């Protein structure tokens, strides 16, 4: 896979110049966001259609607003050619019809307590690295990233926030307390569920009585526990599937389903020979079967892979089974959902505070230099509109 950025290893505290492509990071019904860096305080113009804004480096977050929904615009960034992550044209998302019913934010893979970033467990890959750590005098990077995410969520002021697991590095009480301290700024609207990292030491840490439902008027958020303690593989017990089936039978409004592990590709020609990294094949098929029975189930949203990806299965009416990248490193992701009478939008947000932006830029060079390219995913995997 050819990388698109300069692969010099960045030094702590230094923003790495990227003379390659800026990235079309997010698209909503009325906005386009492009992010990039320059070596210094360069002024760079970004143009979407006839609207132009100028940003000043070294960190550039060009957010062009006031656009029309479901409309194609030419896109240019001064001095940058079009390419894979900077298309020459961009289409805004369609705005689903009807009233806005609820706004929801999500995060996952916060990893409070982690001190090394980029360690994969594969000796050959890790020997090349780079493995990154916060520099002396810097705050722990999970706190830097997640405090910035919380600040952006507070500015959004959503009705609810769901944090979808891997709250901690190894599941210690101290790490869990650190997670709760960082996300306390969101108040009672913040709900969470564990991931596999949270069950390494204590098989009941952060289980939060899942499965549970969060009611937002006619919108329901259903939160599942997908963890098998002691392993990174996912599961869904029969009682949880029955619970979700019963919940969907009782509700008439849309239900968005959340869990830590992603679903196996139920349309794959063969099952994996050993344990699957996400929800095991049989349980994934059972989850898709529940979706097939209920039109109210309009999407499943996970983390775990640290990657932006959407799968759609014919058996589940092609609704999104989405994964969102992590908060703790590149791109410093969290997701915004706006739910309407006739559908919803997912917009992946990249955290933009200076310290968090710089840490994310350093992390894009992990895993032999290609981490950023691997995890960002196509725009359609980050931002989409779904109609009911």
Reported as a single tens digit per residue, the pLDDT across 252-266 is 999 999 999 999 999
SS3 assignment, position 168: strand
Say yes or no: 72 and 218 in one domain: no
Which of 91, 126, 141 is the C-terminal boundary of a domain? 91
Say yes or no: 67 and 138 in one domain: no
DSSP secondary structure code for residue 370 in this structure: T
Question: For residue 3, is it within any domain?
Answer: no
Among 5, 120, 23, residue whose Cα is nearest residue 382: 23
Say yes or no: 229 and 341 in one domain: yes
Q: How confident is the model at residue 292 (pLDDT cuts 50, 70, 90)?
A: very high
Spatial neighbors of 269 by CB under 8 A, at least 6 apart, are none
Q: Looking at residue 8, what is its pLDDT?
A: 33
Alpha-carbon distance of 92 to 26, in angstroms, equals 10
**CA 168 → CA 33, 45, 126, distances in Å?**
30, 40, 21
Question: For residue 258, is it within any domain?
Answer: yes
Q: Looking at residue 121, what is its pLDDT?
A: 86
**pLDDT over 70 at 13, yes or no:** no
Say yes or no: 84 and 198 in one domain: no
Q: What share of the chain is helix, strand, coil (3-state, %, to 5)?
A: 25, 30, 45
Residue range of the domain that includes 192: 100-387
Q: Looking at residue 212, what is its pLDDT?
A: 98
**pLDDT over 50 at 3, yes or no:** no
Tally of domains in the chain: 2
Question: For residue 65, is it within any domain?
Answer: yes
Strands 297-302 and 320-323: parallel
pLDDT in tens, 189-223: 999 999 999 999 999 999 989 999 999 999 999 99
């Amino acid at each position: 896979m050819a990388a698109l950025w300069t692969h010099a290893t960045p030094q702590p505290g230094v923003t790495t110049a990227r003379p390659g492509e800026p990235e079309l990071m997010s698209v909503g019904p009325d906005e386009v966001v492009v992010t990039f860096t320059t070596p210094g305080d360069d002024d760079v113009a970004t143009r979407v259609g006839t609207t132009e804004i100028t940003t000043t480096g070294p960190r550039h977050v060009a957010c062009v607003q006031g656009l029309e929904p479901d409309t194609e615009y030419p896109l240019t960034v001064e001095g940058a050619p079009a390419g894979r992550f900077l298309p020459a044209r961009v289409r805004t998302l369609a705005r689903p019809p009807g009233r806005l019913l609820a706004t929801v934010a999500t995060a996952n893979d916060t990893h409070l307590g982690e001190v090394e970033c980029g360690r994969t467990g594969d000796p050959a890959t890790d020997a090349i690295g780079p493995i990154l750590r916060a520099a002396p005098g810097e705050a722990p990077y999970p706190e830097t990233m997640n405090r910035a995410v919380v600040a952006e969520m507070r500015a959004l002021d959503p009705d609810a926030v769901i944090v979808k697991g891997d709250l901690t590095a190894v599941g210690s009480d101290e790490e869990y307390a650190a997670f709760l301290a960082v996300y306390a700024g969101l108040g009672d609207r913040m709900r969470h569920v564990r991931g596999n990292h949270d069950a390494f030491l204590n098989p009941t840490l952060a289980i939060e009585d899942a499965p549970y439902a969060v009611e937002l008027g006619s919108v329901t958020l259903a939160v599942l526990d997908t963890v098998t303690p002691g392993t990174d593989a996912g599961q869904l017990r029969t009682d949880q599937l029955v619970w979700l089936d019963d919940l969907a039978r009782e509700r008439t409004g849309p239900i968005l389903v959340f869990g830590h592990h992603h679903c196996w590709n139920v349309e794959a020609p063969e099952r994996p020979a050993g344990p699957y990294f996400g929800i095991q094949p049989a349980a994934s098929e059972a989850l898709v079967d529940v979706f097939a029975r209920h039109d109210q189930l309009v999407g499943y949203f996970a983390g775990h892979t640290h990657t932006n990806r959407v799968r759609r299965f014919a058996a589940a009416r092609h609704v999104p089974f989405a994964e969102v990248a992590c908060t703790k490193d590149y791109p410093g992701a969290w997701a915004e959902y706006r739910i309407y009478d006739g559908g919803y939008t997912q917009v992946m947000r990249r955290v933009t505070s200076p310290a968090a932006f710089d840490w994310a830029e350093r992390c894009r060079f992990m895993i032999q230099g290609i981490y950023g390219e691997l995890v960002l995913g196509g725009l359609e995997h980050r931002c989409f509109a779904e109609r009911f």
